[in-house]
Amino acid sequence: RNNILNKYLYFCLFIAACPKPEPPTHGRRLGRVFGVGHEVHFLCKPGYELIGPRTRVCLDSLKWSGQQPMCKRQSNIELTYCNTPSSSSSSPSPLSSSSPTSSTLSSSVRPSHCTHFLGSTRCTCDVGFTISGRDNNICTDIDECLLFPLGQPGRLCVHQCVNTPGSFHCFCPSGYDLSRDGRSCSDVDECETRMHNCTGDQMCVNTYGGFQCVTVECPLLKNATYIKTSPMRCERNPCMLGDKACTQAPSSISFHYLSMVSNMSAPRVLFRVSAARVLGDTLRFGLAGGRGRGHFSVQRSGRQTGTLLLVTPIKGPATLEAEVEMSELERNNLLGRYLTKVTLFISPYVF
Ligand SMILES: [Ca+2]
C-alpha cells in the first residue's frame, strides 16, 4: 500500500501544469485547470476595462501565454452628445443627474452616433448596443445572456454565458475546452494528452469533463483463483477434479469502461457480448448484478450474442456498473459462465 502511495506522490510531483494565475485586482479569473493546453479567462468588474489578454493558455514551457492582464478603472467616458439645434452649448454636458445610468458609467454605455439632416436627427449604435436615453443620445449594451437564457432554444452558450460590453463570451466547466464555434464545450482527453495522474499499473479512462484511473484486479473468491491474462481480462485457474464450487465460478471475467454524457436518451445499445466459439448446445445471457440495475437490461440479439441495453436515462454525475453473464450449457449441464463487467462513467452535464 505504501508503495502505491509513493507512486501516486511521485506522479503528483510531475503533473505538467502552469503556476496558478492570480485574478486581476477588480476582476476575476475563470478556469481552474492549469495543465498544459488549458485556458484561463479574465473578466473585470463593471466600470473596469480589461487591459491585456482576455484568455491565457498554459504552454508546454509551463508558462502562461501573453502578459498578466489588468483591470483599469474607466475614466469617465466622455459622452459627446448629439447636440440638437436648440441646445447649442459648446461644452458637452455630463449626463443629467436624473439619468439612472449616470451612476453606473461604464463601457456598457457609449455615446450614439448621430447625423443631422434637414432638421432631423438619426442616431445609431455599434453592434451589440441599443439606443436609449432621453434624446437617443446614448447606447447601452445589450445583455445577450439575458436575452437568450440557458436551457432555452437558441441559447448562446451550452454552459455559462458572460455578458461583455457589445458582446458576450461563453465559458466551459473545467475539463472542457470552448469549441471553435465559441458556444459549445468539448471534452479534453486527459488520457490522450497525458494530463492524467494515473500510475503505471492503472489504466486511464477518458470521461466527459474528466478522466478516471482504473485498476483491473482479478477477484479473490473462496472457491476459485484467477489470473490476469490481459489488461482487461481475468481467467480462472484450472479447478481440482470434482471441485464443483470451483467449476461453477465464472471461467472468465472481462472489464469494460464506457463514458457517457448525462441524460442520454433510452433505450440504446451500450455493449454487445459474443461467444467466440460455442461448445455446448445452449447459450444464455442475463444481467448478473451491478449498481444501478434498474437502468439496464440484457437481450439476446443473435444466436451467439447478447446486448446490454440502457433502458432509462441516467442523470449524471454517476458511476454505474452492469454485469452481463453468459452461460454455456450442454444438455442442461453448465459448461461455463463468462462475466463481463461494464462500468459507466456519466458526466454531470449533457455534453
Ligand atoms: Ca476528459
- Partners of 268 in the β-ladder: 310
CA of residue 210 to ligand 1 center, whole Å: 4
CA of residue 8 to ligand 1 center, whole Å: 20
Amino acid at 175: G
Is there a domain that residue 186 lies in?
no
Q: Three-class SS of residue 244?
A: helix
185 burial class (0-12, 13-18, 19+ CB within 10 angstroms)? buried
Q: Which residues contact 108 (CB under 8 A, 6 or more apart)?
A: 46, 140, 141, 165
DSSP state of 191: T
CA of residue 255 to ligand 1 center, whole Å: 20
pLDDT at 57: 83
pLDDT at 336: 92
Is there a domain that residue 8 lies in?
no
Are 208 and 342 part of one and the same domain?
A: yes
CA of residue 206 to ligand 1 center, whole Å: 5
Q: Cα separation of 187 and 101, whole Å?
A: 41
pLDDT at 345: 97
DSSP state of 295: G
Is there a domain that residue 178 lies in?
no
- Residue among 326, 322, 210, 330 nearest 255 (CA): 322
pLDDT tens digit string along 283-304? Answer: 999 998 777 778 999 999 988 9
pLDDT at 300: 92
End-to-end CA distance of the chain: 36
pLDDT tens digit string along 254-294? Answer: 999 999 999 999 999 999 999 888 889 999 999 987 777 78
Are 209 and 337 part of one and the same domain?
A: yes
Is there a domain that residue 227 lies in?
yes
pLDDT at 148: 74
CA of residue 214 to ligand 1 center, whole Å: 14
Q: Three-class SS of residue 65?
A: coil
CA of residue 85 to ligand 1 center, whole Å: 62
Q: How many CB atoms lie within 10 A of CB 57?
A: 15
CA of residue 175 to ligand 1 center, whole Å: 6
CA atoms within a 13 Å half-sphere pointing along the CA-CB vector of 311? 12
Provide the residue range defining the domain that includes 119.
Answer: 105-142
- Partners of 343 in the β-ladder: 257, 321
CA of residue 195 to ligand 1 center, whole Å: 10
pTM (predicted TM-score): 0.65
How many domains does the chain divide into? Answer: 2
Is there a domain that residue 109 lies in?
yes
pLDDT at 153: 62
DSSP secondary structure, 149-185, as one string: -TTSTT-S-SSEEEEETTEEEEE--TTEEE-TTSS-E
- Partners of 141 in the β-ladder: 129
Are 208 and 138 part of one and the same domain?
A: no
Dihedral of the CA atoms 20, 22, 23, 25 (nearest 10)?
180
pLDDT at 152: 64
pLDDT at 73: 83
Domain boundary among 142, 157, 189: 142
CA of residue 234 to ligand 1 center, whole Å: 27
Are 131 and 262 part of one and the same domain?
A: no
Q: Three-class SS of residue 294?
A: helix
Is there a domain that residue 327 lies in?
yes
Q: Cα separation of 313 and 293, whole Å?
A: 12
CA of residue 187 to ligand 1 center, whole Å: 5
Q: Cα separation of 67 and 33, whole Å?
A: 18
CA of residue 186 to ligand 1 center, whole Å: 9
Retrieve residue 181's grid coordinates. Answer: 464555434
Spans of the chain below 70 pLDDT: 1-15, 75-106, 149-154
- Partners of 308 in the β-ladder: 271, 298
Are 209 and 342 part of one and the same domain?
A: yes
Are 342 and 210 part of one and the same domain?
A: yes
Domain boundary among 96, 123, 142: 142
pLDDT at 187: 96
Q: Three-class SS of residue 2?
A: helix
Is there a domain that residue 244 lies in?
yes
Are 233 and 328 part of one and the same domain?
A: yes
The CATH number of the domain holding residue 271 is 2.60.40.60
pLDDT at 89: 36
- What number of H helices and E strands is found in the chain? 3, 25
Is there a domain that residue 248 lies in?
yes
CA of residue 9 to ligand 1 center, whole Å: 22
Residue whose entry in the numeric block shows the C-alpha cell 437568450: 148
CA of residue 205 to ligand 1 center, whole Å: 8
pLDDT at 87: 37
CA of residue 196 to ligand 1 center, whole Å: 9
- Residue among 34, 25, 89 nearest 57 (CA): 34
Q: Residue 6: left if φ>0, alpha if ψ -120 to 50, beta else—which one? A: alpha
Are 253 and 123 part of one and the same domain?
A: no
